[in-house]
Amino acid sequence: MSQLPSDPKPLTSRKAGALQGTVQVPGDKSISHRALILGALAEGRTEISGLLESEDILCTARALQALGAGVEERDGNWIVTGAGLGGLIEPAAPLDFGNSGTGARLMMGIVAGHPLRAVFTGDGSLKKRPMGRVLDPLKQMGLQIAEEGQSKLPLTLIGTSGLVPMEYRLPVPSAQVKSAVLLAGLLAQGRTSVVESEKTRDHTEKMLAYFGAAVSSEAVDGGTRISVEGRGTLHGRPVTVPGDPSSAAFLAAAAILCPGSDILIRNVLVNPTRTGFYETLKEMGANISFENERELNGELVADLRAKAGKLKGVHVPAARAPSMIDEYPILAALAAFAEGATVMDGLGELRVKESDRLAAMVAGLKACGAVAEASGDTLTVTGAALVRGGAGVATHMDHRIAMSFLVLGLAAEEPVTVDDASMIATSFPEFRGLMGTLGATFDDGARD
Ligand code: S3P
């Protein structure tokens, strides 16, 4: 049964005409978390422009404040006054990460390396998600958990100033796990390494180098080893956060589905560890392109043009999953309109996201009259020229499920209602407003 927040906010989308215009999506969620965290560990001041001001990021900002770092908004920018490596203090109250797995897991890495106790908690969705994948390596480095044998929030973490460095091979392709271990490694005496067999998003490594940490990356048998030297000094730096490609994906998908659309999304992060969705769209025959590629504090950005067009089904290999892990829900919605079957392999990680996204997508697509099936870790969606819609969809406290079905409703024959759109604020509070700017409005049942 779906567990909804106390005040769910249903939202309905219906067939839309051509979307037009130029917009900018808010800052990348992954980079926003990391900019706040590294700023808090640095010496001096980090000024962040374009920070994503969503619930997930505000939870990380509040947690860092509670741990003694200075984090404040000033004239639209965020100023972080670092405590320096090892300088965080014990929080007076539990740290609440809301819906955010990234916030909770990355922060476990830094709490592990400070001699303090901190209670980690979150919302109903986060409390169901596995934390053992981060706690296991951190315990090997010296972290203690008061609730022995438990690995779901709430948990009381007991950090130490004596973390032991290690080399850790990732058992799952997770940038969150890699980042938690590297952040703990910053606080350990010596060199900490993570070996990954599949490349996951590399923003932590890139930003660590930008802040002056001794970080390196090398090809090894069966993957990449990323290493960081502990107990150096990080220096506060200005950070400009590029637009989030995972948020842009919903706007691009809407433009592809609504006949006559032509939109430009400026300033989108196009780091190759994040662009698997766009690569897949091109293979499906979508009319999308990156224009004006350039570099912004060590990250690649571009303007993204998306136009309406027909799609054909493709096979999406498992090896591509880490570079588009958050985009499968919207890809599955698009695949419902493609000619032929889209087969997506290697999706086991989708079961442990903000909801079981495999189950949620199959159930929602079927409710909308589309043909979808999950078998093991493979999702197959067989497209059709017409998708009926005309359904209520359960979002299971998952922002990306909500946005995916609202986009699907823009091209379905009958309106689609999601049971709760409030979770969209965790990653993309501007979603509804930006869709309106482009020409698509949603209906929340409120009277003018
Ligand atoms: C993230 C990594 C991904 C992704 C999440 C953000 C990050 O999770 O799903 O939205 O910022 O490191 P995993 O690395 O656990 O797959």
**Residue spans per domain, the chain:** 11-27+242-444, 29-239
Nearest atom in ligand 1 to 29's CA: 11
pLDDT tens-place string over residues 162-210: 999 999 999 999 999 999 999 999 999 999 999 999 999 999 999 999 9
Read off the pTM. Answer: 0.97
What is the arithmetic mean of pLDDT over 131-160? 97
Active-site pick, 56, 303, 326, 398: 326
User: How far, in Å, is the centroid of ligand 1 from the Cα of 394?
Assistant: 23
Q: Does domain 11-27+242-444 have CATH number 3.40.1190.20?
A: no
What is the percent of the chain where pLDDT is above 90? 97
CA–CA gap between residue 148 and residue 91 (Å, rounded): 21
User: How far, in Å, is the centroid of ligand 1 from the Cα of 175?
Assistant: 6
Q: Which CATH fold would you assign to the domain 29-239?
A: UDP-n-acetylglucosamine1-carboxyvinyl-transferase; Chain (3.65.10)
pLDDT band at 447 (very low <50, low <70, confident <90, very high): low
DSSP H or E run through 330:
helix 328-335
Give the residue, by CA position, lying nearest to ligand 1 atom 13. Answer: 174
Q: Name residues whose C-beta falls within 8 Å of residue 13's C-beta, 6 or more positions apart in sequence.
A: 405, 406, 407, 408, 409, 410, 415, 416, 440, 442, 443
Which structure tokens are listed for 384? 């059709």
Q: Alpha carbon of 281 to those of 244, 316, 330, 412: distances in Å?
A: 17, 10, 11, 20
Q: Do domains 11-27+242-444 and 29-239 have the same CATH topology?
A: yes
Cross-strand partners of 191: 229
User: How far, in Å, is the centroid of ligand 1 from the Cα of 173?
Assistant: 10
Give the residue, by CA position, lying nearest to ligand 1 atom 15. Answer: 174
Whether the per-residue pLDDT at 338 is higher than 80: the answer is yes
Sign of CA dihedral 171, 175, 181, 182: positive
User: How far, in Å, is the centroid of ligand 1 from the Cα of 102?
Assistant: 6
Nearest atom in ligand 1 to 353's CA: 9
pLDDT band at 20 (very low <50, low <70, confident <90, very high): very high
Q: What is the mean pLDDT of the chain?
A: 97
What is the arithmetic mean of pLDDT over 6-19? 94
Nearest atom in ligand 1 to 30's CA: 11
Which residues line ligand 1 at a C-beta cut-off of 6 Å? Answer: 30, 102, 174-176, 179, 200-201, 325-326, 349
Q: Is 56 marked active-site?
A: no
Q: Are 60 and 111 in contact (CB under 8 A)?
A: no
What pLDDT does residue 297 have?
Answer: 84
Mutate to test the pocket of ligand 1, among 182, 269, 325 (most ligand atoms within 8 A of CB): 325
What is the arithmetic mean of pLDDT over 332-345? 98
Burial of 10 (0-12, 13-18, 19+ CB in 10 A): middle
User: How far, in Å, is the centroid of ligand 1 from the Cα of 439?
Assistant: 31
Which structure tokens are listed for 285? 């025959």
Whether the per-residue pLDDT at 4 is higher than 60: the answer is no
